[in-house]
Amino acid sequence: MSLFKNKVVLITGGTGSLGKVLTRRLLSNPNDLPKKIIIFSRDEAKQHAMRVDYKQKIQATDEIIYEDFKKLVEFRIGDIRNYHSVCAALDGVNIVINTAALKQVPTCEYFPYEAVQTNIGGAENIVRAIRENKLTIDTVVGVSTDKACKPINVMGMTKAIQERVFINANISIPSTRFICVRYGNVLASRGSVVPLFREQIKNGGPVTITTTDMTRFLLSLDKAVDTVIASIENAYPGEIYIPKVPSARILDVATALIEDRNIETIITGIRPGEKVHEILVSYEESQHTVDRGIYYAIQPMLPELLPYITKRNMLHKEYSSGDSVLNLEDTKQLLYDHKLNIDAPFNYEGEFLR
């Protein structure tokens, strides 16, 4: 199936971890190449670094991507929080993938209104621009987080509202399909725990653990991209797509990375806004969550969207990171499989290994 062929794809926040891997994936399939990929963000330094990174490929398999990159990728400076900037970026676009976000939990706690402006206001700007300018956009994907489920922190609260902004937009703009994806910690993304632990270990420690029983869902950047693409291919208007992924104790992640090194661990206590266990589907949401193979789909609650939903294969239970936790050996294997063990070259933020 051709999802992107001859389409114009806009990735907001496209210089981030997900945007970089998503761009590489879109460029890697010659049978489904977009007409154009627009990287929309406000950081010119990150845009320049991404452009340079793609122009310095040294592996033979990179050449296809490099040639496509020169022809297909456009960098656009703009701010998701500025309505006129968003209007200009959306002109002529077919698919929007909204990855722009303030996503660091402590940062959002200390600057809550900044999170509101980016995570909620940014989503509303996309919806408003499509509605007021009558733009013919096929699909908008909002990228959310497990912290949006039963949120206790500002980041999760703003992401939960972002989900509702996009879901509601299906009513006022039925010609565009608005869907979301929701997932847990991405293993190699900026600010995630694995890069932090690796850096602490390489510096001789100590490794900082918030609490010994904390668990998190863990998935790779590629799996996050898989989820976005699966939602574009299969999700009905208003659905939230969720990958079925393993969870692990953060203490086991640290132990797996430390291995037999003489590195001290320190328990620091839970940071502002953190949970011990994350939840991808609440019990209340589970009553309208269906099984889609390797994904769950939370179906919308709004009665206006009821024609799209079904009542088969409902989940009927909470989906928590504390339910089925990997043991230490399986956690080690997970890190090894994704080349995240301490001795492996680190593929940070989806950059090519050199």
CATH 3.40.50.720 applies to domain 8-184+220-243+279-318: yes
How confident is residue 353, by pLDDT bands cut at 50, 70 and 90?
A: very low
- Tokens for 232? 């574009």
Q: What is the mean pLDDT of the chain?
A: 89
Q: Percent of the chain scored above 90 by pLDDT?
A: 70
Q: What is the distance between the alpha carbons of residues 256 and 147, in angstroms, rounded to a whole number?
A: 25
Q: What is the distance between the alpha carbons of residues 31 and 221, in angstroms, rounded to a whole number?
A: 22
Global pTM value: 0.90
Q: What is the distance between the alpha carbons of residues 221 and 184, in angstroms, rounded to a whole number?
A: 11
Q: What is the distance between the alpha carbons of residues 284 and 14, in angstroms, rounded to a whole number?
A: 33
Calculate mean pLDDT across residues 206-225.
92
Calculate mean pLDDT across residues 147-167.
97
Calculate mean pLDDT across residues 286-300.
94
Q: What is the distance between the alpha carbons of residues 69 and 54, in angstroms, rounded to a whole number?
A: 7
- The confidence score (pLDDT) of residue 351 equals 40
- The confidence score (pLDDT) of residue 61 equals 53
- CB within 8 Å of 120: residues ≥ 6 apart: 158, 161, 162, 165
Residue 349 has pLDDT above 80, yes or no: no
- Beta-bridged to residue 37, according to DSSP, are 9, 73
- The confidence score (pLDDT) of residue 64 equals 58
- The confidence score (pLDDT) of residue 73 equals 92
- The confidence score (pLDDT) of residue 350 equals 43
Residue 207 has pLDDT above 90, yes or no: yes
- The confidence score (pLDDT) of residue 63 equals 60
* CB-CB contact of 250 with 209 (8 Å): yes
Q: 83-97: per-residue pLDDT in tens?
A: 999 999 999 999 999
Please identify which residue in the block is written with the tokens 């912290």: 147
Active site residues: 147
How confident is residue 42, by pLDDT bands cut at 50, 70 and 90?
A: very high
Q: 247-265: per-residue pLDDT in tens?
A: 999 999 999 999 889 999 9
Beta-strand relationship, 247-249 and 289-291: unpaired
**Long-range contacts made by residues 23-30, C-beta under 8 angstroms, separation at least 24?**
23/50, 23/73, 24/65, 24/350, 25/222, 25/225, 25/229, 27/64, 27/65, 27/68, 27/69, 27/72, 27/73, 28/64, 28/65, 29/4, 30/64, 30/68
Residue 111 has pLDDT above 90, yes or no: yes
Task: Please state the three-class secondary structure of the chain as a single string.
Answer: CCCCCCCEEEEECCCCHHHHHHHHHHHHCHHHCCCEEEEEECCHHHHHHHHHHHCCCCCCCHHHHHHHHHHHEEEEECCCCCHHHHHHHHCCCCEEEECCCCCCHHHHHHCHHHHHHHHHHHHHHHHHHHHHCCCCCCEEEEEEEHHHCCCCCHHHHHHHHHHHHHHHHHHHCCCCEEEEEEECEECCCCCCHHHHHHHHHHCCCCEEECCCCCEEEEECHHHHHHHHHHHHHHCCCCCEEEECCCEEEHHHHHHHHHCCCCCCEEECCCCCCCCCCCEEECHHHHCCEEECCCEEEECCCCHHHHHHCCCCCECCCCEECCCCECCHHHHHHHHHHCCCCCCCCCCHHHCCCC
- Tokens for 352? 């090519």
Q: 307-348: per-residue pLDDT in tens?
A: 655 666 788 899 999 998 999 999 999 888 887 766 666 554
- Tokens for 304? 């206006």
Residue 193 has pLDDT above 70, yes or no: yes
Please identify which residue in the block is written with the tokens 């294997």: 333
Q: What is the distance between the alpha carbons of residues 162 and 287, in angstroms, rounded to a whole number?
A: 21
- The confidence score (pLDDT) of residue 123 equals 98
Q: 326-336: per-residue pLDDT in tens?
A: 999 999 998 88
